Structure 1
Amino acid sequence: MNADSPLIQLEVSESNTRLDTWLANELPDLSRARIQKLISQSCVKVNDDICTSKNIKLKPSDRIEITIPDSTPLELQPQSIPLDVLYEDEHLIIINKQAGLVVHPAAGHADGTLVNALLAHCHNLAGIGGVQRPGIVHRLDKDTTGAMVVAKTDLAFQHLQNQLKDKTARREYLGVVYGSPREDSGRIDEPIGRHLGDRIKMAVIPESKGGRPSVTHWRVEERFGNYTLMHFQLETGRTHQIRVHIAHLGHPIVGDPIYSSGRSVGVNLSGQALHAWRLTLEHPLSGETIEAIAPIPSELAKLIDIFRRRHHS
């Protein structure tokens, strides 16, 4: 059965099953969340009557009719922007995002975004998970490079979001920071929210003032005197999380225009020295483990090499 059909007609053969549960089993191409939305939008009829309750119990011989509305047309235009693809199949794509590329349109960035590039690369992305951010499961900051997964189907979108929420997906970063932490590893558990005085910034904020629980694991990879190469693993995924947490620890990311402004390293950088190095997740359909490694960009590799040579000279 094609879940993109404008009208789907089904007959129930079992009893005492919740409507949304039954539909999720019958229509595996649609996520449970999408089905519940269709029910709430009066797109589902039970025995010719519109049903807006996902909780009703079905009986044998009940007739179900579902109207799948056309996807809301995207205002976004496909744009031919080169993508560095680390992995791709019909369900998802993992790209190595370059520095300077905004993930989705926002104020000041109407086009030229990763979403515009993806719409040109993947021809069936419209409407997956949201009109303005189709397929976007998680984000990377504009100047953060590295591995990022995008869903191509509703089912993959839901599955990948759940992996991030349940902390089964593993997101590992490499970054160069100012200074040298006393310990070799640690865990930062501090809530993050919008900065109370500067709306552009995020900050460590008490939960009572809007901060959300945020956890970052870190360890030292290599020390270069006044600079350190660090490995980070995200347990949560707040905006600017690594940048805020490590600056809170007193060791902001080198080149960070917001959290380490005013500091200079004598090397020209196009953005902060932070790279989403490895992404490990479960394939939404096969259940196999996918591990995507984004090679360290040349600018970051050059920075590490300069610090290494300075330290050993």
Structure 2
Amino acid sequence: MKQFEIQENDSGQRLDRFLQKVLPALPKGAVYKAIRTKHIKINKKRCTPDQRLMPGDMVTLFLPDTLLYPESAPVPKSEPEFLQAPDQLDILFENEQLLLVSKPVGLVVHCDNRQTPDTLINRVLHYLYKTGAYRPEAEQSFTPALCNRLDRNTGGIVIAAKTASALREINRLIRENRIHKTYLCITVGIPKQPSAVLHAWHKKSDTHNTVTIRDTKAEGFQEIITGYRTLAQHNSFALLSVHLITGRTHQIRAHLAHMGTPILGDNKYGNGKANRAAHCKYQQLWAYQLEFNPEETSCLSDLSGLCVHTAPPPFVTKRFPDVSLQNI
């Protein structure tokens, strides 16, 4: 028999997902069968896989240890991997629930095929561990997590949730466009209109890490909306502020390329000749500013009106040193 008392960071999630986190070696089929045959109960009562857990709930598993902890299960490492990453972060804002950091260009947010332990999430976990905000031994199913992603070669603001409730709420606010994201970029070519809200249709490749943009709806395509404003222009380059109204994979890069003004340095969707001539090896794109607009009923209502931005990215100060970024 095994028991778990649900803590605050465990609450709000489905029973089956909680069990998959705390007992990863337990087969999913065995979980559903045990729930169906009443070998898993909540507060000594029959339960369902999708039942939402509440603080103080007692989850009891009447299952043999050989099923809960099979010999083939991987042995946990003695030291968490995140301790292999540096704990230094460029912190823009922090409270008890959230951490906003500026990610440098070249750092991946999560582990990729290079298997390096130096990722943004590992740096965040190391920092929270060092400051005492994250104690892995005290958590059953929750680990602080990033709420948004940036490509390796895109720098700027990333949100990290320090609690489960903050993670759920930030994800909801992002879905409902209550966190306004403003990016800065340099384009090859000058947009025809000084500012516009662009509508198009987007499809991600199932086999390649690329997307396709088209002007009309088609099967498998999802609508994207991208707003921009031209802040400055010089020769054949333009500095834009871009506001994401929808947020899909490579949306800004692919959408601007689709309208004929690709981002300088973008080797996936951009102009290779212009990139080489300008000696740009990575896309001149930066997540510059976030503005929070939660409702009064939100658990993050105290963030209403909070506007956080990074320092001006290097490519702006280099190519457009006289441009003011106030009120973008």
Structure 1-normalised TM-score?
A: 0.74
| Higher mean displacement: 186-195 or 91-100 | 186-195
1:269-301, Cα deviation, whole Å (9 max, x unpaired): 352111111011248445332221111122331
State the distance in 2 between where 1:267 and 1:128 align: 51
**Cα distance change of structure 1 residues 44 and 174 upon mapping to structure 2, 3 Å threshold:** farther
2:28 equivalent in structure 1: none
**Cα distance change of structure 1 residues 169 and 47 upon mapping to structure 2, 3 Å threshold:** closer
How is 1:132-147 mapped onto 2 (pairs within 5 angstroms)? 134-147=144-157
1:271 aligns with 2:269: no
Instruction: Tell whether the 8 Å contact from 1:143 to 1:270 is kept in structure 2 after alignment.
Output: no
1:110 aligns with 2:116: yes
What amino acid does structure 2 have at the position aligned with 1:203? T
1:287 equivalent in structure 2: 302
Structure 2 residues without counterparts, runs of 5 or longer: 21-30, 62-67, 69-73, 324-328
Matched residue of 2:101: which SS? strand
State the identity as a percent: 26
State the distance in 2 between where 1:50 and 1:136 align: 35
How is 1:79-228 mapped onto 2 (pairs within 5 angstroms)? 79-80=85-86, 82-123=88-129, 124=134, 134-195=144-205, 199-204=208-213, 208-228=218-238
Instruction: Tell whether the 8 Å contact from 1:128 to 1:152 is kept in structure 2 after alignment.
Output: no
Matched residue of 2:223: which SS? coil
Matched residue of 2:226: which SS? strand
1:66 aligns with 2:81: no
What amino acid does structure 1 have at the position aligned with 2:110? H
Q: CA deviation at 1:90?
A: 2.2
What amino acid does structure 1 have at the position aligned with 2:316? L
1:34-58, Cα deviation, whole Å (9 max, x unpaired): 56734896597355234116579xx
1:8-57, Cα deviation, whole Å (9 max, x unpaired): 5xxxxxxxxxxxxxxxxxx764553356734896597355234116579x
**Cα distance change of structure 1 residues 236 and 31 upon mapping to structure 2, 3 Å threshold:** farther
1:77 aligns with 2:73: no
**Cα distance change of structure 1 residues 304 and 7 upon mapping to structure 2, 3 Å threshold:** same
- Identify which of 296, 300, 312 aligns with 2:312: 296
Cα RMSD after superposing both structures: 3.5
**Cα distance change of structure 1 residues 207 and 36 upon mapping to structure 2, 3 Å threshold:** farther
Aligned residues: 274
State the distance in 1 between where 2:253 and 2:307 align: 24
Matched residue of 2:153: which SS? coil
Structure 2-normalised TM-score?
A: 0.71
State the distance in 2 between where 1:259 and 1:249 align: 11
Q: CA deviation at 1:106?
A: 1.8
Instruction: Tell whether the 8 Å contact from 2:14 to 2:50 is kept in structure 1 after alignment.
Output: no
1:311 equivalent in structure 2: none
State the distance in 1 between where 2:140 and 2:158 align: 16
1:144-195, Cα deviation, whole Å (9 max, x unpaired): 1111111111100000000000111110011110111111111222222224
**Cα distance change of structure 1 residues 34 and 246 upon mapping to structure 2, 3 Å threshold:** same
2:24 equivalent in structure 1: none
State the distance in 2 between where 1:184 and 1:209 align: 32
Instruction: Tell whether the 8 Å contact from 1:144 to 1:272 is kept in structure 2 after alignment.
Output: yes
Instruction: Tell whether the 8 Å contact from 1:39 to 1:52 is kept in structure 2 after alignment.
Output: no
Structure 1 residues without counterparts, runs of 5 or longer: 9-26, 57-62, 308-313
State the distance in 1 between where 2:117 and 2:271 align: 27
Q: CA deviation at 1:208?
A: 4.4
**Cα distance change of structure 1 residues 108 and 47 upon mapping to structure 2, 3 Å threshold:** closer
**Cα distance change of structure 1 residues 46 and 264 upon mapping to structure 2, 3 Å threshold:** closer
How is 1:230-241 mapped onto 2 (pairs within 5 angstroms)? 230-241=240-251
State the distance in 1 between where 2:57 and 2:120 align: 39
